[in-house]
Amino acid sequence: MYREERHSAVGSDKAKPSKAFGGIIHPKPRAMNFVPLKLKRKMRNTKRRDISSRKFLEAEKLIAQHIQL
């Protein structure tokens, strides 16, 4: 059954997992995490802002150490 199923598979059926032997030959694909595009963009922008503000504060601290005002 497995050999016939693989041999006769055409197009996208070749990528599908086999049903022979209860499907134990080809493991099921792992689930992918779904993050909406707007949320992903918002999180990325927040991270960029935090990183840039931290770099700015570190630079300001370094300048303040070397220059006494």
* Residue 38, pLDDT above cutoff 70: yes
pLDDT given for residue 1 in this prediction: 57
pTM here is: 0.48
List strand residue ranges (DSSP E) for the chain, in order.
Answer: none
Q: What's the pLDDT tens digit per position in 4-31?
A: 666 777 777 766 776 666 666 767 778 8
Q: Residue 46, class by beta-carbon neighbours within 10 Å (0-12 exposed, 13-18 middle, 19+ buried)?
A: exposed
- Residue 37, pLDDT score: 94
**CA 9-16-25 angle, 5° bins:** 100
* Eight-state DSSP code of residue 19: -
